[in-house]
Structure 1
Amino acid sequence: MGKLTIAKSRAITEPGMYHDSPTLYLYVAPGGSKSWVQRITIDGRRHDLGLGGFPLITPEHARRRAAVNRLEVADGKDPLAEKRKAKAPTFKQAALKTYETLRPRWRNDKVAKNWMQQLDRYVFQRFGNMRVDRIGRADVLSILTPIWNTKPETARRVRRSIRSTFSWCQANGFVDINYAGEVIDGGLPTMRALRKNLRALPYQELPEAIETVRASGASRAAKACLEFTILTACRSGEARHAVWSEIDLDERLWTIPAERTKIGREHRQPLSEQAIAVLQDVRDLQDDSGLIFPSPYKKGNPLSNMALTKVLRDNDLADRATVHGFRASFRTWASEKTNADHAVMELSLAHTVGSSVEQAYARSDLLAKRRRLMDQWGAFATGDTAGKVVQLHA
């Protein structure tokens, strides 16, 4: 039996917390209003749960509510979670909150604009006004299935936006399951196979892809390493095993030793401002190994050869791009959008140029010209000069 009766509760006027029974208190506010509060421990943390105002909620009624909550906690449940779900937003409201959260991470306005346009066109009409906790697997599939093979690029982007929104809802306790995640994989049609030699992302889509990777939940090392690999047009292993001693930040130069290059010769790669920015952003990850992009899981080890592929896979990019394919994206861009010489483009990819005799007489690695090309590539890939034809003057 509790300490407080209706009469005693009415008689209390001094502001404060008044104990009634296990975990239950009557709270008297400075203004005189009274309400029931349950102080309960959930997952090792104390929480105050509001149980309603007095006198509408009587002491006996408040005790029953408190008892139900105590039983739920004893059974491993979270009464707070149920209260949060009862206040769940509509999908459109959640999407707008997600947009506000992600927007500062996007440096490209086009990505932000497309994110909302895709939801507005394909999703909001279907379940934009539904509470997120009432949206299920079938609802998401009803949007994605019709366009999964007819508009595959759009379908992937729409799915990514829905998934990001549900991730925000999960983080805020409104839903337990992300119905745009792996749970729907088995319900989607088989994606038409893409020929392997086509799995180089069209360079026009690269700025958006980089923004997507930046905003993803992948580890900082993996995201940065992938972006650095793209911006330098290097091979994945060269970036993953790169160490700080190979970098000259003042000269904006990366010198890859012969034993780590495919051609078996030292290679000097000029670094754009964008590539330098990536390096500066991960300086705090440096450990005793000297690696620029150390594994977050195995101290002192480089990222695994699957780490960058996983970033692509987790962001719905892996079926239309490979890490190595970004070198082809660079080569196509350089051919179509610049007037760079063949030798400049090939040396930028650390390819051998000419016959062995011609190589023996070549005394220059065309560093100055390659620097101009890589500067333009860095600006383009990050969205600064999309669509411009680049004139590279000697």
Structure 2
Amino acid sequence: MGKLTSTKVKAAKPGKGADGQPTKQILVDGEGLMLVVAPTGARNWMLRIKVDGKRRDIGLGSVDDGAGANAFAAGDKRLDDTPLMLRKRLTLAEAREKAAALRKLAKAGGDPVTERDRERVKVPTFAQAMKDAHEALKSGWSDKTAKAFLASLEEYAVPKLGGMRVDLIDGANVIAALAPIWTDKPVMARKVRSRIGQVLAFAKARGWRRDALPDARELRTGLAKQDQGKNFAAMPFAEVPAFLAGELGKDATASRFAVLFTILTAARSGEVRNATWEQIDLEARTWTRPASMMKMAKGHVVTLSDAAVALLERWNPDKALRTGLMFAGVKGGPLSDMSLTKALRTAGRVETVHGFRSAFRDWAAERMPTIPAMVAEMALAHKVGTATEQAYLRSDLRDMRRALMEAWGRFAAPSLSGVAENVTSLRTAATS
């Protein structure tokens, strides 16, 4: 039982200093709860406890002794329905209750100040939290990623989650948002799931959410099984030489030659469609791609094989005209992704342009066993190794990549490489 009584609280006055002036007086109730009377006569409750081994003095609110304008008639229902943790005026009984709750939380390893202030924070809706997360995080993203983040969530998540407070969104709510696109648009659905998670994680970091994020396994359990055909359709690497030979015998169009250059460099479609002549050094046989056009947002130098160089010289033999986009569309801008796909369909192929990267990787694994796998991954501009390995690996293995890409060019396009037949001396290429 505490030492204070309602009568003592009501009668509490400031102390007096040696000079007779009012001073702060502290009256102890027990278990860390104290009544602090300021020199002005203001009375406030304070809780003194240890949190993580350190003393903390936590203000609980001012004294409500039932006097003055805030008094209530005996037996009346309190007009203040504010939760206990948010009340700014507390009776002795309420102060003890609030102090007990915070002590219990501290003993359990929690932060009593966070608990005291938790409900003071105005929790935003998912739509607002999404915008706040986008604004805070976009500086670390490319423009394309930032735009895709907002566009996908506004289209697929906001209709179901937009008006909900972020602290109330659970797995069932996320499942309801994803269900309409989960099997029809599996790739987009997985991106939306990830981005919803980003928004909720951001909300948790800002103190708007206390519960754990919806578990990925829980979400999968509540959604239909997706088609497992997630990989890009790829042409078997053994068929690549015949395909290139057939395409080289046709009219030279921007989309057709863009596909061929994509194959010979194992590049991504977007990287080729946005490539400029200024990035190409035919004498050094390199294609220097800036970070702005790379998926990993890191600049990358591609080594050009004899076949790739010959293809570019055939496409544009006039050096004076080698400026701007290498493969411009009809209106002068970059080719669309669909234009490259159309070139494949015209050739009677059902694979994707991106799938040629897989064909290159399979070829490297099967036909170039003396070249480390890391070299092929670097040629694809993939991140390789652990963080520690990356810290120590300062070389871009350019000489080994050049040998690998030269061998690929000889295999895929022997006519452009000056090889009479489709026979590649792998040992020579690997060790040259």
**Could you state the TM-score of these two structures normalised by the residue count of structure 1?**
0.50
Greater RCO, CA 8 A, separation 6+: 1
TM-score by length of 2: 0.46
